[in-house]
Each structure stands twice: as C-alpha cells, then as structure tokens.
Chain A
Amino acid sequence: MLATQRTDKWWIEPTLTAFGFLCFVIYTTWRAFSGENFVADNYLSPFYSPLLFENPAGHGLDHSWFGSWPTWVPNWIPKSPAIFILIFPLSFRMTCYYYRKFYYRSFFLSPPACAVEGIKQKNYKGETGFLIIQNLHRYTLYIALLYILILYYDGYHGLFRDGTFGIGIGTIILLINPTLLAFYAFGCHAFRHLIGGKEDCFTCPAGNEKIKYKAWKKVSLLNSKHMLWAWASMIWVALTDLYVMLVSKGVITDLNTWNN
C-alpha cells in the first residue's frame, strides 16, 4: 500500500483536505447534537434551518415552522431539531462530484494521490457497486436549490428584529451564507448538465444562440471553480453557526442598528 515512485510530497494535499474536512465534521456533529444556542434573536443558525420544531427547551419558537417539539418523536432520538434536516445538505455534499473526489482520495485511498497505489482491490467496482447511489446526486441538488431559498429567507429574517428593520453583522453573515451556497450549487455538474450540457448542439437547427447556451456558459464558469465554492460555502456555514452560537451565549456582541 502507498507504493509509489514519486519523490515529491504527494501526501500533503490529501492529508490537509482530510484534516480540514474532519474539523468540519467534528464541529458539525457536536453542534448538531447539542440542540442549543442555535438562535440569537432574529438570527438562526443554518445547521438548524429550516427549523421544523423548536427544541424541547423551547428555543427558537418564532423561527420554527410547526411549533414546539412534537411528543410523538421517540425518546431515543437526540433532542435536537437539526436531526431532521441536516441529512439533506449532507447528502448533497456527500454525492457532489468534488467531495467524492476528495473523500475517495483522502479516506478510501482510492487512489491516495496520482500514481500512488492505494488499497489494491481485486474486486474494485468504482461507482457500479454500492456507490451506484451517487447517481442520485441531481435529486439532492433539487433539495439544495430549495435550501438556498430557505437560507435567504433566514437572511431576510435577519433584517427584522421585533418588526423593526435593521442590519447587523449577523445579517450580513446570514446573507452571505446562501450566496456562497448558490455559487456552489449553481456550479454543480448535474445542474450544468440539466441546464444545457445535455444538448449536442446549442444553436441547432437555425444557428441562433439560445438561452440555454448562455446559461450553460455561466454555469460552466462557476463549475470550473467548483472546489473553491465547495470549500467557501462549507466553511462559511460553520462560521455562521459559530457566530450565532457565540452571540447566543453572550460571548460576543453583535454589532447592529438595533442597539442590541
């Protein structure tokens, strides 16, 4: 394993990516299960959005869609509203072509780096075996597109505190979050295909440029920086949550026009 004739430091990249991603996973898991400090006034942490129910402690009532923590939820389910919804963005990211690349490389060592031998699998199946589910990526994309709307809605909420219009650092952070997500999701390979990439000819039969072509061009531009947007949006979502948590705990004070 890890046999190679490469003399350069090929392991730096997969290790760094793995480390960065692990940090995110650990942080997210901790926050998702904590079920606390996800609301600070009119700011809602994106990990908890859409907030279907408030948590048992009664936090986030004005953000929640269906009111208080339902009694029919069995006890063994962690008492955190994030549980219901985190699976969606997670499935989007986990089936994303970029994420696949890096976790196949960093975690499955398949391959760890180019011209470096990973775990030799006699029965290597690629994405034809269990991983065939990756083909459902476009469905997770549809959900992600909904998420962009929801998160903008949260950002919009961030503009009103107790009915008064205003703006705070938190608002800006909350608005940047779905924007980065949009850059990421609109550069998605599945989106690029659906929006126009699946055509063999953009201007046939009459030679006129169609809207499809223009859309495909723009999407392709985003797509060429897909990795960048993947990281930017992922880091930002964690930062947004961190910000909301710290404000909610009172560790920092949000600068805003409402004088707190």
Chain B
Amino acid sequence: MSERKFSVWKGTPEGGKLHDYSIEVDKGMVVLDVVHEIQKLHDSNLAARWNCKAGKCGSCSVEINGKPKLGCMTRLNEYGEDETITIRPIKTFPIIKDLVTDVSWNYEQNKKIAPFKPRERDADGNHRFMQRDVDRVQEFRKCIECYLCQNVCHVLRDHEKKNKFVGPRFMLRLASLEMHPLDTENRIEDIKKEYGSGMCNITRCCTDVCPEHIQITDNAIIPLKERVVDEYYDPFMKLYNKIFKKSKLRIYIIKSYLVTLR
C-alpha cells in the first residue's frame, strides 16, 4: 500500500476542471479501481462508466495522461511512482458528465449500415464455410465497441467530419460484412459515398489505440479502399470484372466447375 496522486476531470457540458486526489493504492490496481476508490471515499457523485472490469465490454474508455485507453486494463505500474496520473473523458464525443460522454452518434452510424444478408442454407440446414475463410472476419468481430478508435481518429476528433465519415469502428464493421463468406449484399458504393472511406488518410491512430489489437487500418480499411479502387478508379479492373464476374460467362464457368465436382 502506498499513496499516489491522481487528477480527474469533473464537469458538465458547460465546463469543468481537474480535481486532485491522493489515493491509497494496492498491488496490481488499475485506473478503474482508482475511480471506484474516489467514488467510495471522496466523491460518490463522480460519473464514470464500467461493466466487466476485464477488458471485454468496452465501457470504461477514458484518456489517461492524454492517451485513449481502457480504465480497467491500465495498470498503475505503467506509470512512474511519483507521476500524477490524469484521467479525462474521451474528447471526440460530447460530455454528459465527468468521465461519461454521449456516444449515441456511434449507434446511429451502425444503424445506417445495410444489415447482413445471408445466402441460402445448404440442403441439410447447415451453412458451410472453412475456418480459414473467416479468420479475417473473426479478427474484426473481436471489437468490443469501446470507441477509442472513433475517439482518436483525427477526422472525427480534430476536423469534426462526423457527417462525412463513419469512423474506423464502422469501417471495421463494414469490412466484417463485406468479407463475410455468407453475405450477399454489396456495400461498396456506400462505403465510398456514404461512409466516407476516402476521408481516412490511413495514419493508423485507430490501430494504435485499439485495446483488442485489431489491425483496423491494414486489415479492414485499406482492403476496403482497394475494393473501392476496383469499382471506381481502376477502369481495367472494372472491365475485367464486367466480363468475368457478373456475366453469364462467369456463371457458366462456375456451373461447369460444380458439375465436374459432383
């Protein structure tokens, strides 16, 4: 047990400031434990979100010493013994109170995305696809919706282009749908026009902060950008796709392939 110094932002949409606390800390404690100690002993009115305390629900996103992080997965021993640890709410979304922000914008973006549309099941009532076909998608589906990536993305954070770009979390969701082997919907046009894939300048901050270590930029956003290129900026590819992808010729080839397999 030892005492450590903390500084926590408290306030409302109208404004607020940092409050200093000195807290007894125990071995292995994380930043969220400190918030709870403050609530219990100093200020029962300090607003904060949390649920699982194990990095699984993505509720406890804050900025610790200026870095977007999960409070429940940030151990105090990451910081120097006499460094003051400063806890602020995430910046990109409007303050509700103290460490709690209004993230409803994210839920609206999700709703805009065309839902999953599966192909028919096989005759025996099962869907069949191989593990290696979904390794990619499963990486994306690890997302815990902590919105740290949305918070750090400069398109939303600094340039406030919330009307032009859905943000990395939803590019990730789009990628998980577009690369899903069962899905039959095509969202490429919307990805370019509605969701703003071009707004991302692949500077990778989303990837840097993702607590699930998802390679958002490399594995989701850039591949989507490349799919947009196929459709909009690469006339040769477009031509090729016209001839071989959607045409009867292609369907014929697939059919005869299937027949030879049987």
Contacts and interface: CB of A to CB of B under 8 A. Distances in A.
Direct contact of A and B (CB under 8 A): yes
Interface string A148-162: 000000000000000
Contacts of B165: 126
B111 interface: no
A127 B198 contact: yes
Interface stretch (B25-33, B38-46, B53-61, B128-136): B128-136
B161 to A, nearest CB: 6
B202 interface: yes
A6 B67 contact: yes
B222 A110 contact: no
B218 A189 contact: yes
Interface residues of B, number: 55
A163 interface: no
Given A115-B67, A115-B205, A131-B201, A97 B227 contact: no
Contacts of B65: 5-8
Interface in A165-221: 189-190, 192-194, 197-198, 200-207, 209, 213
Contacts of A138: 226, 229, 234
Nearest to B134: A201
A72 interface: no
Given A114-B208, A200-B183, A202-B132, A126 B218 contact: no
Contact of B203 (A104, A200, A205, A206): A104
A201 B178 CA distance: 10
A260 interface: no
A100 B218 contact: no
A118 interface: yes
A29 to B, nearest CB: 26
Contacts of B230: 193, 198
Interface in B148-169: 152, 154-155, 157-159, 161, 165
A137 B233 CA distance: 10
B204 A126 contact: no
B133 A201 contact: yes
Given A5-B86, A138-B234, A203-B130, A104 B201 contact: yes
Contacts of B202: 97, 100-101, 104
B4 to A, nearest CB: 15
B198 A128 contact: yes
A128 B222 CA distance: 15
Given A5-B63, A6-B67, A126-B198, A204 B129 contact: yes
B76 interface: no
A137 B180 CA distance: 26
A132 interface: yes
Given A118-B154, A128-B199, A4 B223 contact: no
A181 B65 CA distance: 40
Contacts of A111: 154, 158, 203, 205
A117 interface: yes
A124 interface: yes
Given A135-B233, A203-B130, 4 more contacts: A6-B66, A115-B152, A200-B179, A205-B254
14 contacts: A7-B86, A100-B201, A111-B205, A115-B63, A115-B66, A126-B198, A127-B198, A198-B223, A201-B181, A202-B130, A202-B132, A203-B133, A204-B129, A224-B218
